[in-house]
Structure 1
Amino acid sequence: MAPTDEARTTGQPGLRERKKRETRVALSQAAIRLCVLHGWADVTVDQIAAEANVSVRTFRNYFGGKAEAIAASHSERMLRVADDLLARPAGEPLWDSLLHAVLGQFVPPGNSGPQNERWREGVRLMLAEPALAGEIVKANAAAQQELAKAVARRTGTDAERDVYPKLVAAAVAAGSGVAVEHSLRADEAVPLGAVLTQVFGQLAAGLPVP
């Protein structure tokens, strides 16, 4: 569920909207924690609701299942990238702003080091679940639309008529996904922030042939 147009225009979502987003994030993060630590098949909706300290009914009000709940974190993170992009200084180069926005959401302060191998393996196994893959595709498509709107506002283009903001949003989503995949599957643990910086540097340079 994306923020309302009014909220995105003013930058100040209402209290009800903020509470709903906070609940969605809490449920999504609980689902991720449990599935990574205990395995997809061994986690139930009841456990996720208990982990987030809400009722199963509340969970059902937000999500149809744990795959949708997990994918919501990706959607929320990309929506915040769009918000952060609009908050960057107006004179900053676009790709510098995008890198700052992506790093702020994918690599929060104090979490810049490589993850331990148990967590990495748990995330790899979770992302391999077929039920989750489809939900992530849907979440990514919706998030790209919001990011394209932010890029359009930042660049003075039109998110509906112009190709540029859609292309940039797609490149950001794809580049972020490649960075996460590379960081998770590298033979040795590699900090995600370093990979994101490399990916966005290459995008900003126009993907020159190595």
Structure 2
Amino acid sequence: MSPSTTVDGTSLRERKKQRTREALIDAAFELFTTKGFEATTVDEIAEAVEVSSRTFFRYFGSKEDVATSVQLQQFLDVYSALDARPAGEPVVTALRHAVGQVLRAYEEGGDDAFQFACVMRLVQDSPAVMARSLEMCTEQLDEMALRVAGRMGVDPIADPRPKLVAAVASAALQVAVRAWRETEPDEKVSDLADRAFALLEAGINYPPPA
């Protein structure tokens, strides 16, 4: 093993970059909580980690990108959880379990729970964060469609169903968050999402390949 490589195969440089990124996220959420999103500046986030603003922009394009970094990680976690679901599960059932697993983990998981609650408030209170959140959901549709197509054993270019599932799944999550934000703030987002996906199971729960 090279002296510049860790036991898990990642380089020390990559580990350092990951630590810097995580430190910027932690500092940003602390500032968002204490000062508010609008009042927090990029310079303040960078200063809290003792890096330059230029370094900040190597990791994030804007404050909104930091605020929604938790949501981006949730998408990545959902993909991993979806890949781990039994191959025989219909596609929406697999998505329902994967999404529920990830949301519950964030709701109950220490620092993750703090950041998850914070980003939910930011989405509720900041039009800029809401807009970036919706934009991110749109950006992830193609990747979600690819994952769905893989479970269905179909070509996502020739078969429109994976893109339909991805779009409807994204809409279901947005419906759940909107219900939490506007009418059911005492409920868990994971429970509201589960309810939305349960409704989808009755309609477009395409089976895996025979």
TM class by smaller structure = 0.7 to 0.9
Larger radius of gyration: 2
Query: d(CA) in 2 for partners of 1:76 and 1:69?
Result: 11
SS of the aligned residue for 1:183 comes to: helix
Give the corresponding residue for 1:170: 167
Deviates more, 1:100-109 or 1:146-155: 100-109
- Pick aligned residue for 1:104 from 101, 107, 115: 101
What secondary structure is seen at the aligned counterpart in 2 of 1:88? coil
Partner of 1:76: 73
Could you say if the C-alpha distance between residues 185 and 33 of structure 1 is closer, same or farther in structure 2, counting changes exceeding 3 Å?
farther
Range 81-90 or range 66-75, more displaced: 66-75
TM-score by length of 2: 0.72
Please give the secondary structure, in 2, of the residue aligned with 1:189. coil
Does 1:154 find its partner at 2:151?
yes
Given candidates 10, 17, 24, the residue that maps to 1:15 is 10
Name the structure 2 match of 1:44: 41
Task: Give the match's secondary structure for 2:186.
Answer: coil
Could you say which residue in structure 2 is the equivalent of 1:145?
142
- The size of the alignment, in residue pairs, is 189
5+ residue gaps in structure 2? 1-7, 110-115, 205-210
1:135 to 123, 132, 155: 132
Partner Cα distance (1:14, 1:158) in 2: 33
CA distance in 2, matches of 1:49, 1:89: 43
Show the counterpart of 1:3: none
How do 1:87-98 and structure 2 match up within 5 A? 87-98=84-95
Deviations 1:147-204 (A, max 9, x none): 1111111111222232111111111111112112212333551122221211111111
Cα offset, 1:30, TM superposition: 4.3
Structure 2 distance, partners of 1:18, 1:30, is: 20
> Could you tell me the TM-score, scaled by structure 1's length?
0.72
1:172 alignment partner AA: A
What do residues 62-92 of structure 1 show as CA deviations (whole Å, max 9, x unaligned)?
2222012223332231132122211211112
How far, CA to CA, are the matches of 1:129 and 1:90 in structure 2? 40
- Cα offset, 1:60, TM superposition: 0.9
Measured against aligned partners, the alpha-carbon deviations of 1:108-132 in whole angstroms (never above 9, x if no partner) come to 17629xxxxxx97984455443332
Structure 2 residue aligned with 1:201: 198
Aligned-residue RMSD, C-alpha: 3.3
Equivalent-residue separation in structure 2 for 1:122 and 1:45 (angstroms): 17
